[in-house]
């Protein structure tokens, strides 16, 4: 059975695991946070989705690195979903004053790791 989870993860499918309740003032759920590509240095292209909620209404914008993706005005929750191509980057939810409310690192892993050099780059002979 553990092999099935690994196969699903490597194919970009993550099982839906219930998230524990959040006690913070602002919480979110981002999926996926890790993407597995076939080749090294390849961008991940997948459907990125998130939902957030706050105990009080707020005005906030979603950013991938420094690119603004979506804004919400005077809301207590928000949902967003889009097909994106991304590399290792930070996903943040920020206020109008550019204060970071939430932060998640999005990682891209490769099924083919970096190759190790088998011989020395120099030789005596």
28-110 folds as Immunoglobulin-like (2.60.40)
In sequence order, which residues have a C-beta less than 8 Å from that of residue 67 and are 6 or more positions away? none
**Residue with token string 């190759």:** 115
**Residue with token string 């892993």:** 109
pLDDT average, residue stretch 61-77? 95
Pairing relation of β-strands 44-64 and 89-95? Answer: antiparallel
pLDDT greater than 50 at residue 114 = yes
pLDDT band at 4 (very low <50, low <70, confident <90, very high): very low
Give 6's DSSP letter. Answer: H
Q: Are 107 and 34 in contact (CB under 8 A)?
A: yes
């Amino acid at each position: 059975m553990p092999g099935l989870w690994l196969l699903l993860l490597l194919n970009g499918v993550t099982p839906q695991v219930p998230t524990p309740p959040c006690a913070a003032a602002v919480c979110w759920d981002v999926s996926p946070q890790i993407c597995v590509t076939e080749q090294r240095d390849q961008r991940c292209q997948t459907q990125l989705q998130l939902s957030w909620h706050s105990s009080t209404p707020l005005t906030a914008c979603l950013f991938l690195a420094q690119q603004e993706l979506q804004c919400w005005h005077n809301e207590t929750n928000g949902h967003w979903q889009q097909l994106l191509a991304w590399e290792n980057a930070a996903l943040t939810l920020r206020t109008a004053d550019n204060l970071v409310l939430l932060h998640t690192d999005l990682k891209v892993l490769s099924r083919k790791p970096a190759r190790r050099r088998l011989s020395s780059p120099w030789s005596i002979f």
